[in-house]
Amino acid sequence: MNRAEDGDAHGDRVIAAARRWIGTPYRHQASLKGIGCDCLGLVRSVFAEITGKAAEAPPPYQPDWAERSGVDRLMQAARAHCGEPVPSDEIRPGDIVLFRWRAGVAAKHAGILSGPDHFIHAYEPAGVIESALVPSWRRRIAVVHRMPDPAQEPSDS
């Protein structure tokens, strides 16, 4: 299997894991499949399922955390757990996409690309849904990161 096929299989696993959350109601700062989650809870839970590593739990946060803090915590966490951002010409399904609502503010929303023009995210008041990546979403993309693939990580032996 070549590298592109390995990447496609990994992306398929990520998308399948994310799709199992569809229909979960939106609940701020939650991460329980079928019970409730927000966008961060969805991405953190899929990350844990795929990588076998739980990302640290964030401290309590208000819905307006990004506007109040002035720190781009979501982008910092994505880089710490997923490495460098993916160049725009290498983006593929299964990647994590971060959005900012307007220029100059911290990224505040996250989802998982499920195709070239769709993504899965937890969105108030809809819950976890698969949405079209229409121009109004696409122009808000701040950065894209690849979900780590444990099969591609070097072993410690």
What is the average pLDDT across 69-94? 90
Q: How far apart are CA 111 and CA 146, in angstroms?
A: 12
Q: How far apart are CA 86 and CA 107, in angstroms?
A: 16
- Rounded to the nearest integer, the mean pLDDT of the chain is 88
Q: What's the confidence (pLDDT) of residue 65?
A: 59
Q: What's the confidence (pLDDT) of residue 69?
A: 60
Residues 6+ apart with CB under 8 A from 103: none
Tokens of 125: 């008041």
Residues 6+ apart with CB under 8 A from 86: 95, 144, 145, 146
Q: What's the confidence (pLDDT) of residue 154?
A: 60
Tokens of 143: 């950065």
- Partnered with residue 57 across adjacent β-strands are none
What is the average pLDDT across 72-85? 91
Q: How far apart are CA 119 and CA 109, in angstroms?
A: 12
Q: Which CATH superfamily is 3-148 part of?
A: endopeptidase domain like (from Nostoc punctiforme) (3.90.1720.10)
User: At residue 152, what is the residue type?
Assistant: Q
Say yes or no to pLDDT of 6 above 60.
Answer: no
Nearest to 40 by CA among 84, 104, 99: 99
